[in-house]
Structure 1
Amino acid sequence: MSDLPQALLASWLAERLEVTLTQLAPVGGGCIHQAWRADLADGRRLFVKTNRAEALPLLEAEAAGLRALGVWARPPLRVPEPLAVGVAGTLAVLVLPWLDLHSGGGGRAQDWRELGRGLAELHRRSRGGSAGRYGFETDNFIGSTPQPNTWHSDWAGFFIDCRIAPQLRLGAAAGRHLRGVEQLLAALPAWLGAHRCEPVLVHGDLWSGNAGLLTPGSGAALFDPASHWADREVDLAMAGLFGGFPAAFFQGYEDTWPLPPGADVRAQLYNLYHLLNHAHLFDGGCGGGYWRQAQASLDRLQARFSPGSRA
């Protein structure tokens, strides 16, 4: 590893946070940014993300989401507070507190239940925080894909305009045309309109790589969000899409704030957004597996719903 990132970051951290960097070590985990453990002269550690300077908007959006979630999170659920974000020479940089995450697979069922409870309490506590609107203060990103968050007064309008329709436009631009799209879009206003959900602050990208247990008995953490105000079910839907969250997590959520009837079917719709996004990000020339999953999801939804159906 070149010492260039360390030299740049040492100077930048000294200026921004008045700390002395003694060692910078790479850590794994992300596919968009580089991640580092920064050891300081005072014995503390920081978590640092870097990318090219032009990627600063991605890190700024992440920082905004973390700050928003941090307003509503309470122990034992932890959301790391951004310490600094900006440009150091050729690098975009985000600095966060270091989290001592549980290493190795598994973790205690009780800790996973606490994570589920913590998420439910964050969702419930944030009700009313957006004055009944769906969206977010700024647009952000889902992975590296731009994610519009224009304020809407109704959930169906937001989900169509800011989630499904942009992904379908990206697909069409790439020459991907899925069966049943027009019929689904025609059904959504009535179907989702009948689902009377309150907007809450959601993580927005809740796969298992963006949450973790802290060292045993120390709680759990959420990070790498794509936050916005939405139906709380979107977080539970994605948590179940790719695996990684044990049953205890979902039970902890359900024990604290049960989901309403129909959540399992709505989860298929909400996860169509993530399948389409993964298709754009990862499928190009690799066999189209996510496109096939998205089409299968559309087919299942088409089989169950028609205009006028209720959630």
Structure 2
Amino acid sequence: MQARLKKIGDNTNIKEMKPVSGGDINQAFYVRTETREYFVKKNQDVPADFFQKEAEGLEHIRRTNTIRVPKVYSYDNVSFGEEKYLIMEWIEGEKSKATGHLLGEQLAQLHLTETSPQYGMHGSTFVGEITQPNDFYDDWLTYYREKRLQPQLEIGINKGTITMERREHFEKLLQRIDQYIPKYPRVSLLHGDLWGGNWITGHNGLPYLIDPSIVYGDHAFEIAFTELFGGFPSDFYKSYQHFYPLPDYYDEIKPLYQLFYLLLHLNLFGESYGASVDHILRRYT
């Protein structure tokens, strides 16, 4: 670790290094030198570009000047099975009365500020440890069907989590999904994996986004996921709606947007998510 820090220009001694909670995927550490504090992730059982994609996503968001993200100092891009490190600045702070409001306002500004002529993203990204295939499409409906739902159906069939009855409902949904998902919503840059564990609080209660899986798409897709597992204060939603109101169709299609993340969890963790998936499939078929 000392050698890695020297490569990024910190030649001072390490004063403290301890493991911290950093999710289920990576080992994570707090590192303090004589001059700076770091958050370090380590993994060897992930693809070569795993940390690179995270770093690129953070940089993409940072360049919008809308919402804060941790600074990335370095990352490794080495083969599967080799140790890889991601070194970032350490973010720590207490929530204030303004934190939820700022999170809503600044996320809305991200969605309003950064746009694209097409939907999707170039190259694969990662949602958690799952590879997310991407490409650019002229309409959001085709991207969502072919790059979000269809791959999870195929994974589920191969893993046995998509049973025959579930598969029948799923295939019916894919045939009629154009009745629900808009083709041409306003294009926004999305964090792409925004659950309650992927935002943190820094100095003076300022919100930061972490662990992105960026994609250009419908901002309603992002907000739908924030409602799935909780972790967001009520003033976050009030603030967001003030700066960027959700579309009239939001309540009708929210379950369809949440379906992607439920399918991903079903394929990762098993049948505990099956009932939620089935409820949505039956509702729309």
Residue 154 of structure 1 aligns with an amino acid whose one-letter code is D
Q: Is the 8 A contact 2:220 2:247 kept in 1?
A: no
Residue 154 of structure 2 aligns with an amino acid whose one-letter code is R
C-alpha deviation, 1:90, in angstroms: 4.2
Q: Is the 8 A contact 2:17 2:30 kept in 1?
A: yes
Aligned twin of 2:72: 82
| Distance in structure 1 (CA, Å) of the matches to 2:238 and 2:284 | 26
Q: Is the 8 A contact 1:73 1:79 kept in 2?
A: no
Equivalent of 1:198 in 173, 186, 207: 186
Q: Is the 8 A contact 2:72 2:88 kept in 1?
A: yes
Q: Is the 8 A contact 2:120 2:217 kept in 1?
A: yes
Q: Is the 8 A contact 1:137 1:149 kept in 2?
A: yes
Q: Is the 8 A contact 1:21 1:38 kept in 2?
A: no
| Distance in structure 1 (CA, Å) of the matches to 2:224 and 2:234 | 13
| Distance in structure 1 (CA, Å) of the matches to 2:102 and 2:244 | 13
Gaps of 5+ in 2: none
The share of aligned pairs that are identical, in percent, is 31
Aligned twin of 2:247: 260
- Equivalence map 1:154-303=2 (5 Å): 154-175=139-160, 176-177=162-163, 178=166, 179-193=168-182, 196-215=184-203, 217-283=204-270, 288-302=271-285
Instruction: Give the 3 Å change call, closer, same or farther, for CA 240–24 of structure 1 in structure 2.
Output: same
Instruction: Give the 3 Å change call, closer, same or farther, for CA 207–19 of structure 1 in structure 2.
Output: farther
Aligned twin of 1:125: 113
1:108-161 Cα offsets, whole Å, 9 max, x none, are 44210110000001110112xx2x211113211111111011111110000011
1:153 matches 2:138: yes
C-alpha deviation, 1:87, in angstroms: 5.7
Gaps of 5+ in 1: 1-8, 303-311
The 10-residue stretch of structure 1 (28-37 or 11-20) with the greater mean CA deviation from structure 2: 11-20
The 10-residue stretch of structure 1 (160-169 or 10-19) with the greater mean CA deviation from structure 2: 10-19
Q: What is the aligned residue count?
A: 278
| Distance in structure 2 (CA, Å) of the matches to 1:227 and 1:198 | 16
Q: Is the 8 A contact 1:116 1:249 kept in 2?
A: yes
| Distance in structure 2 (CA, Å) of the matches to 1:21 and 1:151 | 46
TM-score by length of 1: 0.84
| Distance in structure 1 (CA, Å) of the matches to 2:46 and 2:226 | 30
Q: Is the 8 A contact 1:59 1:93 kept in 2?
A: yes
